[in-house]
Chains A and B, each alone.
Chain A
Amino acid sequence: MSKIFESERLIVEEIRNGGGKTQVYINKLYADHFPKVRRFIQRNSGSENDAKDIFQEGMMILYKQIMKDKFRGESRIGTYLFSICRYLWYHQLEDRGKTRNFAPDLSELEKQNLIFPYQKILQKQQWSWIDKVFSQLADDCRKILLNALYYQYSMEEIALQMEFENAQIARNKKYKCLKRLRGYLDEHPELKSILRDIVNNPT
């Protein structure tokens, strides 16, 4: 990571490690970079609410890139986030059949090797279904599944974090938890069908 981005290294590391200050840094990212995106979207046929939606989606993408250790700080966070939002807004306008007076400019995204398929954000109702499923799981099950499959920690790291004796025990626990999740869905075929739709087609 270049020296000039050193100040941002902390933010990325804190979010990546899910430390106690994660929310503080997310708040800071929001406050620092939202105004620029809002100005851009409002000058390009968008409303304040459009800007909020696009920025939140952009933040989500950045968050996931950080979590999956794909954001390596080749660009400033603000520059990268703005590029994502511009790219998203470009496609949103296309969906609405509106004229676009700007190019998506993928240079920053390419620099990070982070071209991602354009995908619409999930709706509130869809989130509530997901919430319903995860609330059925015990805390330690939720944690191990997220650590393994979302944050992509190794089994050795998870064993250490969650104080299991070794990686194999962590592996067994993860398997049991996934089985429990599957069992719950099998008992609720309607919910399973809805979630299958969300997973396959989030829009």
Chain B
Amino acid sequence: MENQATYELIEKYLNGELSGEALANFEKRLTHEPDLTAELDEIRALHQLVELGGDQIAQRQINQAADLYEAQRRVVYRRRSVVLGMVAILAMVLLVFYPRLKKLENINDQLFAENFRPFRAPSNVRSDDSAEYWEEIRQAYETENYSEVITQLENKRPSSQDYLQQFYLGMSYLAKTPSQPDHAILAFEKTITTDNDYIEIAEWYLGLAYLKNQQRDKAKLHFQQLIEKGNTYQREAILDLLARIK
């Protein structure tokens, strides 16, 4: 590079900053001075090279963005694959086991339907001051308005005859359509916690409630325990059920 003044003149020419007489003089020199023309080419090439250097910085930043994007995409794909894999496994499990579970459910329901008969209505003769109340429950129970029986019994304040309240609550939950065997189980379990005349009966219905609630193993165990205890209520039916619950 000859000198800074020549360089700056050439740079002005390249940037289009020369005009009028200055431009004309420079172009005239170019036609007569091959060294100046060569210098112009050199500087033009150097400028272009610096520009490529700038491009390279940009290219690095863009490459970095591309790498980051791909890395994030891989993470998303990996997570998606894991979720899809789990869904596929779940679907296969359901495909294999659902018909079997459904079949078992049908058998449980069938055994329940064959054995379940709502226990007779509560007696209308009561010694305490709740006779009128129990009469209403009796009527609702006899007319199979089990939802009404449940409403009345759920709102009843505790009394000395709680076991009776719990027994008919369990019975109503089991008899209503659709039945709510889980609620019935709770009520029957409460019924048998105190000493009363309904224990054996409640135990029988508790077993049926387990069956209806698709707790087949628990029902089987419960009925076996009733036989071992020597329960007499519905003994034949229990033995028959045990033979049929495989």
Contact = CB atoms under 8 A, between A and B. Distances in A.
Contact of A181 (B49, B51, B52, B65): B49
A134 B60 CA distance: 14
Interface residues of B, number: 30
Nearest to A195: B49
A175 B7 contact: yes
A162 interface: no
Interface string B44-79: 011111111111111101111110110010000000
Contact of B46 (A63, A142, A150, A178): A178
Given A52-B66, A127-B56, A175-B4, A146 B45 contact: no
Interface string B122-136: 000000000000000
Given A150-B53, A175-B4, A178-B7, A199 B62 contact: no
Contacts, number: 100
B96 interface: no
A170 B61 CA distance: 27
B1 interface: yes
Interface string A25-36: 011011100100
B21 interface: no
Main secondary structure on A side of the interface with B:
helix
A178 B68 CA distance: 35
Interface range for A: 35 or more
A139 interface: no
A64 B55 contact: yes
Given A130-B56, A131-B56, A60 B62 contact: yes
A127 B59 contact: yes
A122 B52 contact: yes
A196 B62 contact: no
Interface string B1-21: 100100110000000000000
Contacts of B217: none
A149 B51 CA distance: 7
A52 B70 CA distance: 10
Given A178-B7, A179-B1, A142 B53 contact: yes
Contacts of B8: 171, 175
24 contacts: A26-B61, A26-B64, A30-B68, A31-B68, A31-B72, A60-B55, A60-B59, A64-B58, A67-B54, A67-B58, A130-B52, A133-B49, A146-B57, A150-B50, A171-B4, A172-B4, A175-B4, A178-B7, A178-B50, A179-B1, A181-B46, A195-B45, A195-B49, A199-B45
List of 5 A-B pairs having minimum Cβ-Cβ separation, nearest first? A150-B54, A30-B65, A149-B50, A199-B48, A27-B65
Interface of B: 1, 4, 7-8, 42-43, 45-59, 61-66, 68-69, 72
